Structure 1
Amino acid sequence: MSSRIHPTAIVDPKAELDSSVEVGPYSIVGPHVRIDAGTVVGPHVVIEGHTTIGKDNKIFQFASLGAAPQDKKWAGEPTRLEIGSGNTIREFTTFNLGTAQDAGVTRLGDDNWISAYVHLAHDCQVGSHTIFSNNAQLAGHVVVGDWAILSGYCGVHQFCKIGAHAFIGMYTSLTQDVPPYVLVSGNPAEAHGVNIEGLKRRGFTREQINAIRAAYKDIYRSGLTLEEAKAKLAADAAQAGAQSSDLASPVQAMLDFLGTTTRGIVR
């Protein structure tokens, strides 16, 4: 056994761990687990199921990764959990396997900051560079785009979608989709403008932010129906594209998102 694996840890001989992986005291790693180089597993962590973990993750004590879905329909199918690279996964987090009724996999991308007590239910698809504050909770089949921020104690209903760069406020109860770049909070959730500070930090230009604000006004402040707003966004994206693809792409991202929503948007 590698000297990087504490003698009190239980690592199944069939598990595939890079030689550089560290496993802390009393942690348990199951037979179908694969962990890539540089990942550090703290003490008292349980990693089970068909779980794949990428490089350079930091997994803190008492995390539970790859446990059975909290879904009565699950009948023991070999579904999966896939975790990318460079993630920080804090204490008492719970990430469940996917189900056969969906894609069969729960995914977390790269460079995410997942705080304590966060729950990723079965079949959730979380992108990269997100921040989940303490006790943010996702029900099953939720999709979260890159760079989104979920504040503490927010709860997301199953099958909801949260667009890239969106911001969900503390204690928010989310039962509908949130378009990219939009800031929402409350119970029930309400839209409160564009996540301007987040966009500035991500390097969006003034012109891009102004285009996003104009698109937000089309959706939320113009009195248009959603279908009318989509038509207006399509025209705006075409007009912006005539000037610059960088200017058109944020508006197109909002339009594309609206075309995929099934639960309706917070409005």
Structure 2
Amino acid sequence: MFKESRKLMLGVTIVHQFCHLGSFSFLSGGSVVSQDVQKYTMVAGERVELRGLNLVGLTRRGFSTAEIRNLKAAYRKIFMRADANVGSFEDRLAEVVFLCFALLLSGSHDL
């Protein structure tokens, strides 16, 4: 069974008509969304900002501890720049490919 469409939007949330809301995303109340919301993330604010992973939603949907740990690592690599010596976005994204394979190989979800 496909479970790709699970999203949570709280009250008074405005979403532009061409924005894509990723699976398992969480949109805080009073948010104005004018850009795509990535899978597994939480956004909030009048002009939404990425706030982190939707850890509660992932746990409630049965994601394993290992899967959540891998998603956290991927999130950090892609969205959080620890220092100025971090490579380009493409370099960071290439590192995440290995984490994606780990998630695929875990095979415990029918996404």
**Distance in 2 between residues matched to 1:224 and 1:152, nearest whole Å:** 39
2:97 matched to which residue of 1? 234
Alpha-carbon shift at residue 218 of structure 1 (Å): 1.2
Gap runs ≥5 in structure 1: 1-126, 129-144, 254-267
The one of 28, 32, 41 equivalent to 1:182 is 41
Alpha-carbon shift at residue 146 of structure 1 (Å): 1.3
The one of 36, 53, 59 equivalent to 1:194 is 53
Alpha-carbon shift at residue 220 of structure 1 (Å): 1.4
**Distance in 2 between residues matched to 1:228 and 1:160, nearest whole Å:** 26
Alpha-carbon shift at residue 224 of structure 1 (Å): 5.5
Q: Partner of 2:42: helix, strand, or coil?
A: strand
The one of 77, 81, 99 equivalent to 1:218 is 77
**Distance in 1 between residues matched to 2:15 and 2:106, nearest whole Å:** 31
Normalising by structure 2, what TM-score?
0.79
Q: 1:148 to 1:225 in 2, by over 3 A?
A: farther
Which protein is bigger by CA-based radius of gyration? 1
1:245 matched to which residue of 2? 105
**Distance in 2 between residues matched to 1:175 and 1:201, nearest whole Å:** 27
Q: Is the 8 A contact 1:218 1:224 kept in 2?
A: no
State the superposition RMSD in angstroms: 2.5
1:168 matched to which residue of 2? 27
Q: Partner of 1:184: helix, strand, or coil?
A: strand
1:86 matched to which residue of 2? none
The C-alpha deviation readout for 1:161-204, integer Å capped at 9, x for no partner, is 11110000001111111111100000111111111111111011
More helix by proportion, 1 or 2?
Answer: 2
Gap runs ≥5 in structure 2: none
**Distance in 2 between residues matched to 1:212 and 1:224, nearest whole Å:** 20
**Distance in 2 between residues matched to 1:245 and 1:213, nearest whole Å:** 17
The one of 147, 172, 177 equivalent to 2:6 is 147
Q: Residue type matched to 1:161 in 2?
A: H
Q: Residue type matched to 2:11 in 1?
A: G
The percentage of aligned residue pairs carrying the same residue is 30
